[in-house]
Amino acid sequence: MYWTLELASKLEDAPWPATKEELLDYANRSGAPLEVIENLNEIDDEGEIYENIEDIWPDYPTKDDFFFNEDEY
């Protein structure tokens, strides 16, 4: 399983919190790339609920990871 920013961005509008099945359903309905569906299928699922993309991909960059001042824009 591998994630990129482009792949993870396909789940930004997913109905969080969600189960693996709900995320797969969303990915299929929204036309996400096959890689996203494959990555979701590879998750070891024990019926847990995922609160956000960071629960699936812990290295997902957050706003704090980017070095810009929002007040300047």
Question: pLDDT tens for residues 50-60?
Answer: 999 999 988 88
The verdict on residue 27 lying in a domain is yes
The verdict on residue 60 lying in a domain is no
Give the helix/strand (H/E) hosting 10: none
Phi/psi region, residue 6 (left: phi>0; alpha: psi -120 to 50; beta: rest), is alpha
Report how far residue 13's alpha carbon sits from residue 44's, in angstroms, rounded to the nearest whole number. 22
Q: Hey, what are 58's tokens?
A: 């812990």
Number of domains in the chain: 1
State whether residue 50 is helix, strand or coil. strand
18 strand-pairing partners: 50
The verdict on residue 66 lying in a domain is no
Mean local confidence (pLDDT), 23-35: 96
Share of the chain above pLDDT 70, in %: 84
Give residue 38's domain range: 15-44
The verdict on residue 36 lying in a domain is yes
The verdict on residue 40 lying in a domain is yes
Q: Residue 63: its pLDDT value, please?
A: 58
The verdict on residue 34 lying in a domain is yes
The verdict on residue 29 lying in a domain is yes
Q: Is the pLDDT of residue 14 over 70?
A: yes
